């Protein structure tokens, strides 16, 4: 969710687990998760919830993506036990006037639209259904002043949207960095390393014909 931010010049992406590390952050991003309720408990156990709330109270921007956004809600409910105990309901951080209810059927979508005057696209993969109260819509989620939440993964890979977001939240001018170009360069580099260090013909033979009969197999967790 934050790979594209890491390409921006003069912008350091730092993963933190200590609330003290958020003290001088310009933007806090809470990325997606497959375990929203338990990861919210993890945040609280480490005091990160208080650090995020303090960051927002000081008028500094916070962005939540999918599960991270759902943590910003007032209430998170899991009636069917998608993530754990059926009927569980917990309080979110209350940064946005939104409610999340988990449903057994997973949402899978490739949404497109516009946000902050820029074209936007991404993908959705989640069990949570949100109900917005007050506040504006933002990429399938919600926003209120400097707190933004989106249900779209991958939206920051769009150069125009990423530039518009950083301009609004941090006052940064568009850098001209192309995420697509950088991704292709990384894929090409990976291909070059595979050709240089692996027996590609042998790999292709295994892919087409399978392992030779009688070849010993080491199961996961096994030892030689």
Catalytic: 153?
yes
Give the list of residues 6+ apart from residue 139 with CB closer than 8 angstroms, or none: 111, 113, 115, 120, 122, 150, 151, 152, 155
Structural element, H or E, at residue 187:
helix 179-197
Active-site choice (66, 126, 134, 205)? 66
Distance, CA of 200 to chain centre: 34
What's the sign of the alpha-carbon dihedral 21, 95, 154, 168?
A: negative
Token output for 62: 């916070």
Phi, psi for residue 85 in degrees, rounded to 5: -75, 125
**CA dihedral of 104, 137, 112, 167, whole degrees rounded to 10:** -130
Cα 134 from chain centroid (whole Å): 24
197 is catalytic: no
Q: Looking at 126, 127, 134, 153, which residue is catalytic? A: 153
CB 121 within 8 Å of CB 179? no
Q: What is the set of active-site residues?
A: 66, 153
């Amino acid at each position: 969710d934050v790979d594209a931010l890491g390409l921006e010049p003069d912008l350091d992406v730092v993963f933190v687990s200590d609330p003290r590390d958020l003290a001088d952050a310009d933007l806090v991003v809470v990325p997606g998760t497959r375990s929203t309720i338990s990861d919210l408990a993890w945040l609280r156990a480490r005091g990160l919830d208080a650090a995020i709330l303090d960051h927002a109270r000081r008028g500094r921007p916070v962005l939540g993506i999918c599960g991270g956004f759902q943590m910003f809600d007032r209430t998170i409910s899991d009636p069917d036990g998608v993530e754990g105990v059926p009927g569980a309901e917990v309080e979110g951080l209350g940064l946005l006037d939104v409610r999340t209810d988990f449903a057994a059927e997973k949402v899978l979508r490739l949404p497109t639209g516009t946000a902050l005057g820029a074209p936007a696209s991404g993908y959705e993969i989640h069990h949570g259904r949100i109900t917005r109260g007050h506040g504006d819509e933002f990429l399938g989620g919600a926003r209120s002043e400097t707190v933004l939440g989106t249900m779209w993964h991958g939206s920051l890979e769009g150069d125009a949207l990423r530039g518009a977001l950083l301009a609004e939240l941090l006052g940064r001018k568009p850098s001209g960095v192309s995420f697509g170009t950088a991704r292709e360069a990384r894929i090409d580099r990976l291909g070059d390393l595979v050709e240089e260090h692996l027996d590609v013909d042998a790999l292709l033979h295994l892919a087409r014909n399978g392992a030779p009969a009688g070849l010993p197999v080491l199961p996961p967790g096994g030892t030689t």
